[in-house]
Structure 1
Amino acid sequence: MANFIGIDVGSVTTKVVLIDQKENILFDTYLRTEGGPIQAIQRAFRQLYEQLGEVEVAGVGTTGSGRRLAGIMVGADIVKNEITAHAVAARWVEPKVGTVIDIGGQDSKIIFFQNGVPIGFNMNTVCAAGTGSFLDHQAVRLGIPIEQFGEYALKSTNPIKIAGRCGVFAESDLIHKQQMGYKKEDLIAGLCLALVGNYLANVARGRKIEPVVLFQGGVAANIGMRAAFEQRLGMEIVVPGPFKVMGALGAALLAKRNYERRRQPSKFRGAASIASFTCIPRTFTCDDCPNNCEVNEVYIAGELVSRWGSRCGKWNNLNLSSADRSENRWGTGLKISRSS
């Protein structure tokens, strides 16, 4: 039976999901990217191989901020943005979904649906208040494990008002209130309410939130944030079972649809191979014209497999000799000119 893989590489976490032909989830993992997306992807496929061996894969999809690198690395058949992937997964979980609240490690987004069809979305712009990295930072500063952050919020009987206009103001006000001696649970409950207010103002931007509301992304594990959304919106917030890996699930579903439409063999490199080969990204700047394009390359097992970033397309040919560049400047960020 054919299987399908979805990969979601974000700035903070990397997720991988394997589904079968009937769309049952056979494997999923949620790992910290820790600044190394290549290593995180390899750890994920090492887990997959150790648990299931070399499974038959008919299609692979990637999404997230690192989707292009991930797609090249694993041999993806389809590469999609995270809005599309999350929307597909949300509809798969709940066909009557009206709104998706998605808060990840460093970004927040909201997707609006009408009759099960996505009709619009918004994303956070300059403010990261309420994202996973922001909450992680506050938990460390308060000396509380992030896994217990939401539990503290639910213990509160008197949430403290926290300025939530942006992450800087929220943290500054939280420190000020902490120094005044307020209880941690009241501080955390107040912070959750402030961050929800920030989200509704800066991400939802006043648009009406229609049920069924799905809360997904890593922050959905925070029951304090979920309770704050329910309090502000006056409606039930549903956290789906695979809430942490919805982007990867959506990518897997999109890979399945792509296979069913085209029926072409997958370019997937194999779990064991991905887990063990060397993958090295490199970059150089072409100064043949005023565009000064930053050209990116990816080498797998010493072989150049992809190059992109050249606006005119002159570097799209993977067979260009390395003699066309100044070899002693690899990866320095200096301008590199082709020889005459």
Structure 2
Amino acid sequence: MKELSKQVALGIDVGSVTTKVIFVDENDEIIEGLYIRTKGNPIDTIKAGMIEAYNVITSKFGDIEVIAVGTTGSGRQLAGVVVGADIIKNEISAHAYAAIHEVPDVSTIFEIGGQDSKIIFIRNGAVIDFAMNTVCAAGTGSFLDHQAERIGVDIEKFGDYSLRATNPVRIAGRCTVFAESDMIHKQQMGATSEDIIAGLSESLVRNYLNNLARGKELLPKFVFQGGVSENIGIVKAFENAVGSEVIVPKNNKLMGAWGVAMLAKREIEITGQKTNFKGFKVTELEHKTRVFYCDGCANNCEVYEVIENGETIAYWGDRCGKWSNRLTSRVRRTERADRRQSEEINSEK
């Protein structure tokens, strides 16, 4: 008798700097997770991540069946139409869901990624408020990577240097340009790398809280996630600033992908519908993207088009729906036909 395939849910979080691809099992545990550089090419990165994770999982468990797919992050729309997502969620929802799953009584979530940062306020297991900083890169992962390279310290050791500081210097952290200029000045004045890095960590946390948490009530428990939460110097600076323990969950870099995978799984369970996942063969298809401006009205919308093997499969970006609605009826008809065919085959069995 053939052994049943292991059922898994797929979560994809496409950020500007990194892409996260994870698979969760029936208990919502991550059985494989990848954290890879987007490198300006999200489609190829998604495909490579899916295949790599698939190979690892099948080597461990044999055949797998993907029963739900969710996408999130700044590239969630693109990822969703390419792989066939069941839900496409914003980062706030995905990160909050994973944090609540991991720390049920969490009240405040700090999240800092490669190019942006956000703070999420939770009360009684629900999001009540949030704020995002997408304008200034100060304190984000890409900025820290750049500073680590400039100082000559491996980014993995950045936090260790910070903890060894004896007299952290004060760094202007409101702007990446001012912060870097101030760091160079402190170096030229003779400050140690440890004191500069510790001062930078404190400055970036101070800037984060002043920008995103101004006028908000910060309550424990605090959870810190995203790539920058790997930096123990930043974690310590947060703890000093809020006067409380800051929890870094075990899957801190994968929380967005984890959250959206679990949300997709719940969606399928509630609706009882079959997943829209196109299968791993999608990695063999050719995908192209195109951007154009619609001159149909004064809005002059920037419209994005995704082309799969020569056929347009999605539009978005238009305000009136002139382009995005164009494929809706055809896609729905196809989905209904596919489901009817599947039901007929199953009934014959």
Same fold (TM over 0.5): yes
Amino acid at match of 2:216: R
Aligned residue in 2 for 1:329: none
Aligned residue in 2 for 1:275: 283
Amino acid at match of 1:234: G
Question: Relative to structure 1, is the Cα distance of residues 36 and 179 closer, same or farther in structure 2, using a 3 angstrom cutoff?
Answer: same
Q: Which TM-score applies when normalising by structure 2?
A: 0.87
State yes or no: 1:313 paired with 2:341. no
Conservation of the 8 A alpha-carbon contact between 2:22 and 2:53: no
Matched residue of 1:292: which SS?
Answer: coil
State the percentage of identical aligned residues.
56
Amino acid at match of 2:316: W
Aligned residue in 1 for 2:188: 179
State yes or no: 1:2 paired with 2:14. no
Alignment of structure 1 residues 53-92 onto 2, 5 Å:
53=58, 55-92=64-101
1:24 CA displacement: 1.6
Q: Distance in 2 between matches of 1:297 and 1:66?
A: 14
1:115 CA displacement: 2.2
Aligned residue in 2 for 1:295: 303
1:314 CA displacement: 3.6
Q: Distance in 2 between matches of 1:116 and 1:310?
A: 34
Aligned residue in 2 for 1:39: 44
1:245 CA displacement: 0.5
Q: Distance in 2 between matches of 1:163 and 1:292?
A: 40
State yes or no: 1:197 paired with 2:203. no
Q: 1:28 aligns with which of 9, 33, 37?
A: 33
Matched residue of 2:142: which SS?
Answer: helix
Q: 1:116 aligns with which of 116, 120, 125?
A: 125
Aligned residue in 2 for 1:17: 22
Q: Distance in 2 between matches of 1:283 and 1:129?
A: 29
| Stretch of structure 1 that moved more, 278-287 or 80-89 | 278-287
Q: 2:103 aligns with which of 94, 108, 112?
A: 94
Aligned residue in 2 for 1:327: none
Q: Which TM-score applies when normalising by structure 1?
A: 0.90
Q: Distance in 2 between matches of 1:229 and 1:314?
A: 47
Amino acid at match of 2:274: P
Aligned residue in 2 for 1:242: 251
Alignment of structure 1 residues 199-214 onto 2, 5 Å:
199-214=208-223
State yes or no: 1:155 paired with 2:160. no
Question: Relative to structure 1, is the Cα distance of residues 201 and 57 closer, same or farther in structure 2, using a 3 angstrom cutoff?
Answer: same
Q: Which 4+ stretches in 1 moved above 6 angstroms?
A: none
Aligned residue in 2 for 1:232: 241
1:55 CA displacement: 2.2
Conservation of the 8 A alpha-carbon contact between 1:296 and 1:307: yes
Matched residue of 1:110: which SS?
Answer: strand
Matched residue of 1:133: which SS?
Answer: helix
1:202 CA displacement: 0.6
Matched residue of 2:169: which SS?
Answer: coil
1:125 CA displacement: 4.6
Q: Distance in 2 between matches of 1:81 and 1:126?
A: 18
1:166 CA displacement: 2.4
Matched residue of 1:2: which SS?
Answer: strand
Amino acid at match of 1:14: T
Conservation of the 8 A alpha-carbon contact between 2:31 and 2:57: no
State yes or no: 1:139 paired with 2:148. yes
Matched residue of 2:278: which SS?
Answer: coil
Conservation of the 8 A alpha-carbon contact between 2:107 and 2:222: yes
Matched residue of 1:243: which SS?
Answer: coil
Conservation of the 8 A alpha-carbon contact between 1:45 and 1:274: no
The runs of 5 or more residues in structure 2 that have no matched partner are 1-5, 329-349
Conservation of the 8 A alpha-carbon contact between 1:200 and 1:206: no
The runs of 5 or more residues in structure 1 that have no matched partner are 320-340
